[in-house]
Amino acid sequence: MIRVLLADDEALLRAGVRMILEHAPDVEVVAEVPDGVAAVRACREQAVDVALLDLRMPGGDGLTAAAEIARRFPDTNVVVLTTFGEDRYVAEALAAGAVGFLLKDIGPADLIHAVQVAARGESILAPSIVRRLVERHLVSAEHGNAAARLAPLTPTERDVLRQVGTGASNADIAAALYLGVGTVKAHISRILTKLGCENRVQAAILAHEAGLLAD
């Protein structure tokens, strides 16, 4: 079972998220708390696989809690679930150690999927955030050598990168390309090394720059 902690100062929202998550046979909500301080305490008192944290909460904000949970409880994967999707919040959350950043307009099935992805330690970003980061980068980026940088990739690696560019998770890529999840992880590791990218977002940006998604 994936053990989930919910941290949000709105009790009604917590109840709604709990109801959604508990429809999944492999997810169990083990704690609900109203602020970041209580979230850290809950992680100390019991095993938590995924901590879903709001950003703005009286009594302890989500960013501070995310950093402390990431530092003190490395087996707990933090995902921010918020209405505030500005770039600075995304950057601050990821810098604090969160593996994911989701917006509260996410659909029920996508929320369950995101929790399952985060439980495996994989990164997950709201598709709208990925698109915005990519588009913003493309406006200011130099595109001349993007296609050339993809030259070292094998055909399979290009297919995997194309999927990364859509924001797909490792499991989604595995299903789309008929590969094992472990094989996908290995391909992505090699892709990042070959392209000199630090993370999936940078690789997605490069895929868009090179026109790979238009192929």
Distance of alpha carbon 151 from alpha carbon 135, whole angstroms? 23
Q: What is the mean pLDDT of residues 133-152?
A: 64
pLDDT at 164: 87
Helix axes 11-21, 108-119, angle to 10 degrees: 80
In sequence order, which residues have a C-beta less than 8 Å from that of residue 85 and are 6 or more positions away? 101, 103, 126, 128, 129
Please indicate whether residue 56 or residue 89 has the higher confidence score (pLDDT): 56
Please indicate whether residue 48 or residue 61 has the higher confidence score (pLDDT): 48
Element (H, E) at 10: none
pLDDT at 95: 77
User: According to DSSP H, which parts of the chain are helical?
Assistant: 11-21, 36-45, 62-72, 87-96, 108-119, 127-140, 146-149, 155-165, 170-177, 181-195, 200-209
Distance of alpha carbon 151 from alpha carbon 173, whole angstroms? 21
Hunting for tokens 């989500």 — which residue is that? 62
105 pLDDT band (50/70/90 cuts)? Answer: confident
What's the chain's average pLDDT? 85
Which of 17-21, 47-51, 194-198 is the least confident region?
A: 194-198
CB 165 within 8 A of CB 204: yes
130 pLDDT band (50/70/90 cuts)? Answer: low
Which of 26-35, 142-151, 157-166 is the least confident region?
A: 142-151
Question: Tell me: the pLDDT tens digits for 17-48?
Answer: 999 998 999 999 999 999 999 999 999 999 99
pLDDT at 135: 59
Tell me the C-alpha to C-alpha distance, in Å, between residue 27 and each of 9, 45, 141, 167: 22, 19, 41, 23
Q: What is the mean pLDDT of residues 97-112?
A: 88
pLDDT at 98: 86
* Global model pTM greater than 0.75: no
Q: Which domains does the chain have, with CATH numbers?
A: 2-126 (3.40.50.2300), 144-214 (1.10.10.10)
CB 120 within 8 A of CB 184: no
pLDDT at 50: 96
